[in-house]
Structure 1
Amino acid sequence: MVLKYYASSHLSGGGGIVALVLVEKQILFEHVRVDMAAKEHKTPEFLAMHPFGQVPVIDDDGFILYESRAICRYLADKYADQGTPGLFPKDLKERALVEQAASVEFADFYPALLKVLVAKMQRDVPADQQAAVDKALAEFTKTLQVYEGILGKQKFLAGDQVTLADIFHLIYAPLLAENGVDIMTSTGPNVARWWNELISRPAWVKLKAEGIQSTV
């Protein structure tokens, strides 16, 4: 049975990184498009797969899994011997370094990033919005300065090879440039080099240009 990948048609959020791992690992899959506007993710059938009614979800021959980071780990582990190597290494110490960097993304990078996006995307445009944006950017810059130091010693966050820890940053960070914030390429040369390399990966560029397509 071909793996079924339930997600919207847009390359964004958690669905985007799962699509990227599917392509990087050369996994055959059927993209089952979920119409969020029509609330297909809130139907009883979908809620039976994901009790919170969110995307993405995969069905791998009857094994149902949700939450994008968990899905990426599962796919990279199961298909370790095909496609891009080393996304989730088998070696205990190498994997620990990936988990360390992934934990930093979730606990440090993402919360600081979210504050910037929330401040920047306020629809009612409060009088002190710019002050809120500046404060959030200052906090986020501190996080990126730590990244600058790490990436000055190695190519990627867990070593000299791209891993899931790097890919996880593509969940929300692309929204910064879309909202006129160029902090990912202006904080320092090491972060800029790393970020440009991530967003220039052929699989990501192809997905951005063509959208998510079934490979069966």
Structure 2
Amino acid sequence: MATPVKVYGPTLSTAVSRVLACLIEKDVRFQLIPLNMSKGEHKKPDFLKIHPFGQVPAFEDDSISLFESRAICRYICEKHPEKGNRALYGTNPLAKASIDQWLEAEGQNFNPPTSVLVFQLAFAPRMKIKQDEGAINLNGEKLAKVLDVYERRLGESRFLAGDEFSLADLSHLPNTQYLMSTSKSEMFTSRTHVSRWWSEISARDSWKQVVNMQATRN
């Protein structure tokens, strides 16, 4: 039996949970090694050998190491094409290109405003940090424009990259999960196609397992 891959980082991290969801979708065995970020474990020399920027997640598969969650997800899918969800990263060049373009849209257009909103609305209160209303309003406006594009796309296609659930959809799960418990949830539920899409992707067993891990490990 193959040695489980190792994922370093806390499950509350959106980037870590992205990788975990991918591993579960692909039915790849893994060992989660949570780090105590408040104690600076992600800045220690041994960890910096795996992730030179001292962030999470870091990933090890036997003798190789990787960082950056989207790159890790692509690697997992490419290494294990026959395992688990075979369509997760496409089965032909056109499917992969479509997934990649929406992954880029997530990374370049969706992630920047939602990351700010997740921090301001979900994490700042826990950390007893004063919320920046200006940042919340500005990034709410940016997110609205992105979701308008998604609404049009999802009116034409069941999922972002086509008719199959893919990495493009999976990559949106972590940030959206946090926002759905904030005042910004209406931005998703008020858009018919976005709301339908979110209900479908968030109901996947892989994501339910990740959410359960977040509840039990943190």
Shorter-normalised TM-score: what interval? 0.7 to 0.9
1:177 aligned partner: 180
Contact 2:9 2:58 in 1 (8 A): no
Partner of 1:163 in structure 2? 166
**How does 1:71-150 map onto structure 2 within 5 Å?**
71-117=72-118, 120=121, 121=124, 123-125=129-131, 129=133, 133-150=136-153
Distance 2:85 2:10 in 1: 24
Query: Residue 76 of structure 2: SS of its match in structure 1?
Result: helix
Q: 2:209 aligns with which of 199, 206, 210?
A: 206
TM-score (norm 1): 0.87
What is the number of residues matched between the two proteins?
210
Gaps of at least 5 residues in structure 1 are none
Q: Which runs of 5+ in 2 are unaligned?
A: none
Q: Which has the higher helix share?
A: 2
1:5–1:56 Cα contact (<8 Å) kept? no
Query: Which deviates the most, 153-162 or 88-97?
Result: 88-97
- Deviation at 1:147? 0.5
* Closer/same/farther in 2, CA of residues 212 and 94 from structure 1, 3 Å limit: farther
User: SS of the counterpart of 1:173?
Assistant: helix
Paired position in structure 1 for 2:29: 28
Runs of 4+ in 1 over 6 A off after TM superposition: none
- Find the aligned partners of 1:212 and 1:83 in 2 and give their Cα distance: 25
SS across alignment from 1:6: strand
Partner of 1:64: 65
The structure-2 alpha-carbon separation of the partners of 1:36 and 1:125, relative to structure 1 and needing over 3 Å to count, comes to: closer
Percent identical pairs in the alignment equals 32
Letter in 1 for 2:53: F
Pairwise CA RMSD: 2.3
What is the CA-CA distance between 1:79 and the residue it aligns to? 1.0
Offset from partner CA, 1:120-143 (integer Å, 9 cap, x none): 4583356xx2x6544432332121
2:7–2:30: 8 Å Cα contact kept in structure 1?
A: no
Retained in 1: the 8 A contact 2:5–2:29?
A: no
Instruction: Say yes or no: does 1:151 pair with 2:157.
Output: no
- Rate the CA distance shift 1:75–1:186 in 2: closer, same or farther, 3 A: same
Query: Cα distance, 1:39 vs. partner?
Result: 1.6
TM-score (norm 2): 0.86
Q: 1:192 to 1:26 in 2, by over 3 A?
A: same
Distance 2:115 2:28 in 1: 31
The answer to whether the 8 A contact 1:9-1:212 is kept is no
